[in-house]
């Protein structure tokens, strides 16, 4: 479960953390440490985006509003962001669900990404072996994560290929 602490924006932006928290109007929101599956999927998803010609960035801190920063597990950009903390949305945002993630928080994050302008929002749940796409304020189960016009076709089995 995430813990919350009050800090200034300047302190947040100038500090380094063991695992980057998110920031909302003075409130620091720590995130759950990822599992080994989280790391494995992050690499697999990043490689798939790179193969499709997108720049793949993992655990990237982004500025979704003046005093609001999120950390995207995997972001797929058409070109390298010019800002240290990008304020322009990626083409695709992928969240890998941790065991302690609350459904309401996931939906809230997806809504924020959609309002910010992210065109493709995906959720991967390693425990449930589930791929989902956020669309029209809902999470929709998917057998394959795809990007129209790009050679991206990701299945859960592909993400698990390296696990014995």
- CA distance between the termini of the chain: 30
Q: Is 90 strand, coil or helix?
A: coil
Query: What are the C-alpha distances in Å from 71 to residues 56, 74, 97, 142, 162?
Result: 14, 9, 13, 23, 26
Q: 24 in a domain, yes or no?
A: no
Q: 27 in a domain, yes or no?
A: no
Which residue range(s) make up the domain with 153?
A: 34-159
> pLDDT tens digits, residue range 62-106?
999 999 999 999 999 999 999 999 999 999 999 999 888 889 999
How much is the mean pLDDT over the chain?
Answer: 91
Q: Domain containing 94 — which CATH number? A: 3.90.1570.10
Count each helix (H run) and each strand (E run) in the chain, helices first: 4, 11
Total domain count for the chain? 1
Q: 119 in a domain, yes or no?
A: yes
- Evaluate whether 55 touches 76 at the Cβ level (below 8 Å): yes
Q: Which residues contact 68 (CB under 8 A, 6 or more apart)?
A: 23, 24, 25, 112
Sign (positive or negative) of CA dihedral 32, 35, 20, 93:
negative
107 pLDDT exceeds 80? yes
142 pLDDT exceeds 80? yes
Centre a 10 Å sphere on the Cβ of residue 2 and count the other Cβ atoms it contains.
15
Res 38: pLDDT: 87
Q: 23 in a domain, yes or no?
A: no
Res 162: pLDDT: 67
163 pLDDT exceeds 80? no
> pLDDT tens digits, residue range 11-43?
999 988 888 899 999 999 888 878 888 888 999
1 pLDDT exceeds 50? no
Question: Worst-scoring range by mean pLDDT, 11-25, 108-122, 131-145?
Answer: 11-25
């Amino acid at each position: 479960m995430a813990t919350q602490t009050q800090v200034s924006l300047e302190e947040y932006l100038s500090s380094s953390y063991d695992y980057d928290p998110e920031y909302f109007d003075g409130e620091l929101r720590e995130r759950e440490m990822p599992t080994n599956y989280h790391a494995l999927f992050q690499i697999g998803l990043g490689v798939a985006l790179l193969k499709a010609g997108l720049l793949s960035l993992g655990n990237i801190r982004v500025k979704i509003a003046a005093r609001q920063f999120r950390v995207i597990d995997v972001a797929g950009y058409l070109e390298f962001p010019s800002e240290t903390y990008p304020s322009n949305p990626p083409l695709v945002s992928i969240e890998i669900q941790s065991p302690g993630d609350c459904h309401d928080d996931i939906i809230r994050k997806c809504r924020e990404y959609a309002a910010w302008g992210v065109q493709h929002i995906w959720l991967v749940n390693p425990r449930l072996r589930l791929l989902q796409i956020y669309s029209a304020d809902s999470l929709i189960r998917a057998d394959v994560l795809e990007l129209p016009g790009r050679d991206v076709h990701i299945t859960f089995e592909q993400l698990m290929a390296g696990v014995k």
